[in-house]
């Protein structure tokens, strides 16, 4: 049987689901094909950081646009997604690091971005009372925060289906090819046809791009996270370190999420990951040093989600350089969660109008053309 749609989205992560929602809002009817279930990998198991802070300049406009979408997330998807906005704080552990912060904020200001604000030791202590006394300051992005990633991705998936998206989970998209003006994708014994295909396949996005003649230097990675049992509230904003690999967030229920980008070994074909406890130990030790209050907290679970990291640590977003009707939206390189809601809006805009008002020039696939 052949299923006709306006667009075929490959991948049911936050990005694919968000693009589906936004295409529906523009009156189009997409089909979304997910080989496992929505949010199974990176989208459902990441740290949940909703962060404009410390991003590469090329993706700041997209991040800022996404922030606007986050602030109306309840109206968009009918669920608050666990989103809170207590800010994100980048901690400088010494004067040298604070100097780097100072020039970063000055540079952003010259470019017209004002979301990052330099803070001194006093303001740092006010925002994060539990941080070690020796830290001289940092940067805050006050609109930032965190959300529940599995809940968010699930909410987007649910909303997409309510708005008319054909959602297929548990089947893999295969044989993606173009026949005349239409793209064809086979999945679960059926053929899907549409003038548009969106490659939002996360860790699998590189393979799809390569199979269509647009290879991107991309590797599969699995950043590790661990979470503690509930401890009394002691910190509101998300904290990341300037020098060491650590991110740190206490949820409203008291549990504390510890991340920072140390990597597990991914086994992409089975979806499994093997944790590197010696690296998690480094995170534990960093927390032990910076937040003495955490020393007797209990680690209840650690995990890693599989995703794609590109050679320049920036995502691939926008139309294909080779094929009409093919769009890429993958390679978010450990920082795609916050971008999901906004990137879906930009993709829908690109697909429906051929253009976008959000600058994405540094993110297009052309940058990897040889």
Partner 1 sequence: MTINRPMRDEYDLAVIGAGPAGLAAASLAAQSGLLTLLLDENQGPGGQVWRAVTSTPVKETRLLGDDYWAGSKLVEEVRASGAEILQGATVWSLDRHLEIGISAGGGSQFIRAERVILATGALERPFPIPGWTLPGVMTAGAAQTALKSSGLIPDGKTVVAGQGPLFWLLTAQILRMGGRIDLVLDTTERRNYLRALPHAAAFLTSPYFRKGLAMMREVRSKVRVVSGVTRIAASGNGRLEEVAYEAGGRSVSVPADLLLLHQGVVPNVNLAMSAGVKHRWDDIQLCWSPVLDANGGTSVEGIAIAGDGAGIGGALAAVERGRIAARAAVEALRPQAGAKVPSMETFRAALAKAERGRIFLDVLFRPSKQFRIPGGDTIVCRCEEVTAQDILDSVAIGATGPNQLKAYRRTGMGPCQGRLCGLTVTELMAEARGKPPEEIGYYRLRAPVKPITLSELASLPKNESATKAVVRG
Q: Which of 16, 44, 266, 344 binds partner 1 (CB under 8 A)?
A: 44
> Looking at the DSSP assignment, which residues form a beta bridge with residue 108?
none
Q: How far is the CB of 251 from partner 1 (least distance, A)?
A: 10
Say whether residue 234 binds partner 1 (CB under 8 A): no
The residues with which 141 forms a beta bridge, in sequence order, are: 88
**Torsion angle of the four alpha carbons 290, 291, 295, 297, in this order, in degrees rounded to the nearest 10:** -130
Q: Is 278 in the site for partner 1 (CB under 8 A)?
A: yes
Q: Select the residue interacting with partner 1 from 57, 106, 252, 300 (CB under 8 A).
A: 300
Per CB under 8 A, 18 contacts partner 1: no
Query: Per CB under 8 A, does 229 bind partner 1?
Result: yes
Contact by Cβ (8 Å): 208, 19: no
- Using the rule CB under 8 A, is 96 a contact of partner 1? no
Residues 148-207 that bind partner 1 (CB under 8 A): 148, 150-151, 153-154, 157-158, 161, 169
If binding is defined by CB under 8 A, does position 250 make contact with partner 1?
A: no
Contacting partner 1 (CB under 8 A), which of 277, 311, 324, 353?
Answer: 277
Cβ atoms of 50 and 85 within 8 Å: the answer is yes
d(CA 322, CA 304): 34
| Residues counted in the chain | 370
Binding mask 100-139 toward partner 1 (x if CB under 8 A, else -) reads ----------------------------------------
Residue 259's φ and ψ, nearest 5 degrees, are -140, -155
The number of residues that bind partner 1 (CB under 8 A) is 44
- Report the distance separating Cα 87 and Cα 127, nearest Å: 9
287 in contact with partner 1 (CB under 8 A) = yes
Task: Rule CB under 8 A: say whether 356 interacts with partner 1.
Answer: no
166-169/30-34 β-pairing = parallel
Dist. CA 297–CA 262, nearest whole Å:
20
Q: Are 176 and 123 in contact (CB under 8 A)?
A: no
Q: From the CB of 262, what's the least distance to partner 1, in Å?
A: 10
CB of 295 to partner 1, least distance (A): 5
User: Cα separation of 169 and 16, whole Å?
Assistant: 12
For 302, phi and psi rounded to 5 degrees? -135, 150
Cα gap 153→15, rounded to integer Å: 9
> Residue 1 in 3-state DSSP?
coil
43 three-class SS: helix
| Among positions 219, 295, 311, 322, the unique one binding partner 1 when judged by CB under 8 A | 295
Task: Tell me which residue of 280, 273, 276 sits closest to 257, measured CA to CA.
Answer: 280
Q: Smaller CB distance to partner 1: residue 44 or 206?
A: 44
Min CB(355)–partner 1 separation in Å: 34
9-17, 112-120, 277-285, 329-337 -> range binding partner 1 (CB under 8 A) = 277-285
| Interacting residues toward partner 1 by CB under 8 A | 37, 39-40, 44, 93, 148, 150-151, 153-154, 157-158, 161, 169, 227-229, 243-245, 272, 274-275, 277-278, 280-282, 284-289, 294-303
């Amino acid at each position: 049987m052949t299923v006709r749609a306006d667009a075929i989205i490959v991948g049911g992560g936050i990005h694919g689901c968000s693009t589906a929602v936004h295409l529906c809002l523009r009156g189009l009817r997409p089909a979304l094909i997910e080989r496992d279930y929505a949010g199974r990998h990176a989208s459902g198991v990441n740290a949940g950081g909703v962060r404009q802070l410390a991003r590469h300049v090329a993706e700041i406009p997209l991040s800022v646009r996404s922030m606007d979408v986050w602030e109306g997330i309840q109206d968009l998807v009918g669920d608050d997604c666990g989103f809170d906005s207590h800010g994100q704080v980048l901690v400088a552990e010494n004067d040298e690091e604070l100097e780097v912060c100072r020039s970063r904020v000055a540079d952003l200001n010259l470019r017209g971005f004002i979301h990052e604000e330099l803070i001194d030791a006093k303001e740092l202590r006010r925002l994060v009372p539990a941080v070690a006394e020796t830290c001289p300051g940092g940067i805050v992005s006050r609109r930032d925060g965190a959300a529940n990633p599995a809940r968010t991705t699930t909410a987007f998936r649910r909303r997409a289906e309510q708005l008319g998206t054909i959602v297929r989970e548990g089947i893999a998209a295969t044989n993606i090819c173009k026949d005349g003006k239409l793209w064809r994708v086979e999945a679960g014994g059926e053929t899907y046809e549409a003038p548009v295909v969106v490659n939002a396949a996360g860790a699998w996005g590189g393979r799809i791009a390569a199979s269509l003649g647009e290879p991107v230097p991309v590797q599969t990675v699995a950043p590790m996270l661990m979470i503690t049992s509930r401890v009394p509230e002691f910190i509101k904003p998300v904290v990341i370190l300037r020098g060491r690999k650590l991110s740190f967030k206490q949820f409203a229920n008291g549990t504390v999420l510890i991340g920072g980008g140390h990597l597990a070994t991914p086994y992409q074909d089975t979806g499994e990951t093997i944790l590197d406890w010696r690296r998690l130990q480094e995170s534990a030790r960093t927390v032990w040093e910076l937040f003495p209050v955490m020393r007797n907290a209990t680690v209840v679970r650690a995990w890693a989600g599989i995703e794609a990291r590109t050679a320049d640590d920036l995502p691939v977003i926008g139309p294909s350089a080779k094929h009409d009707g093919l769009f890429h939206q993958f390679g978010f390189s450990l920082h795609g969660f916050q971008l999901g809601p906004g990137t879906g809006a930009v993709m829908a805009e690109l697909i429906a109008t051929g253009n976008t008002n959000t600058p994405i020039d540094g993110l297009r696939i052309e940058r990897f053309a040889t």
